[in-house]
Amino acid sequence: MTNGKIFSQSSKPKICGVDISYLAQQEKCGVTFQKNNKEVPILQILNEAGVNWIRLRLWHSPKDNWNNLENTLITAQKIKKYGFRFLLDIHYSDTWADPSNQTIPKSWENHDFSELCNAFETYTSEVISEFNAVKCPPDMIQIGNEITNGMLWPHGKTDNPQGVQNFGILLKKASSVIRSLSPQTKIMLHIDRGDNTSLSNWFFNMIKNHNIDYDVIGLSYYPYWNGKDLSKIGKNISNLKKRFGKDVCIVETSYMWTLKWNDNCNNIAGTSSQLISKYPATPDGQKQYLSDLCNIVTTSGGIGIFWWEPTAVSTPNFPSALENTTWFDFKCNYNGTGDVFSQFK
């Protein structure tokens, strides 16, 4: 177990979080944000809304350099100056890692498993050491992103016994490095389909059988991709907390505030069939969704929520597939959804 006491029992979420991993790229493109039609620094807007945690993704060697170690270090230092706690999401890939994609970094692709383990362990150590060097150690680290089907395919893919064994070895190595170099840092394991109890039980039973050392169960939940019954999230959180004795967090969620478009980039969600009838695609509907989800998570024993990319607005120099799930209108003016968090701060 870790030494730092971050979480305690409460009827309020300890984590009121957001993922703003596009921020460095947006700043380079000149994106600015407004509150009450006046330009305000984005971290100030989030702070005033009650956000207390920020999540950043880290890719190994991305083609465009965004979300690489250098840029992630810079953004992490900015958020720490505002007093936010920091969750580092290490994808262990050069691009998006999720249940359908867990692509080995190009520089590791010809390694056998022994060589891969060495590269994986060295990289994890280097990442943590770099954050420690700038006095910005993560408060929590995800070992991989949505690792429901394993990571670093094909070596750690969980569709065969050898892949399961390799997956366990990789997780143990990463966990050991984190405990050694940053003992105050919590460790999260993150899967998708957070409302699916049988899937969650299968995955974390596998983790338990391999004696993986971790602190927090992270779940993704998107009602436009997963089920629309929020009560299933609560039931699964209660189930996981009771069955495995770990803190549980919704580490990715979002919802539409409009079905309209502001650019020529296809939105990831935005049809009427993807809506929950109780939550219309309006700022008020989006805000009510977040409020109800917060209440369900906390009453079920969860520790909090991260909203995925509430700042990924569309601008002439930054087209966005997430423009209608942000907390900002098409003029980049804050719509108030994040204020739900202020009642919990």
E strand or H helix at 61: none
- In the set 39, 48, 70, 252, the catalytic residue is 252
* Gap between the Cα atoms of 278 and 71, Å rounded: 40
Phi-psi region of 202 (alpha: psi -120 to 50; beta: other; left: phi over 0): alpha
Residue 142 tokens, joined: 């995800």
Cis amide prior to 154 (ω within 30 degrees): yes
* Gap between the Cα atoms of 296 and 237, Å rounded: 9
Phi-psi region of 251 (alpha: psi -120 to 50; beta: other; left: phi over 0): alpha
- Classify the C-alpha dihedral 222-139-69-43 as positive or negative: positive
- Classify the C-alpha dihedral 215-220-226-227 as positive or negative: positive
- In the set 70, 146, 309, 323, the catalytic residue is 146
Q: Are 166 and 156 in contact (CB under 8 A)?
A: yes
Task: Please indicate whether residue 252 is annotated as part of the active site.
Answer: yes
Active-site residue set = 146, 252
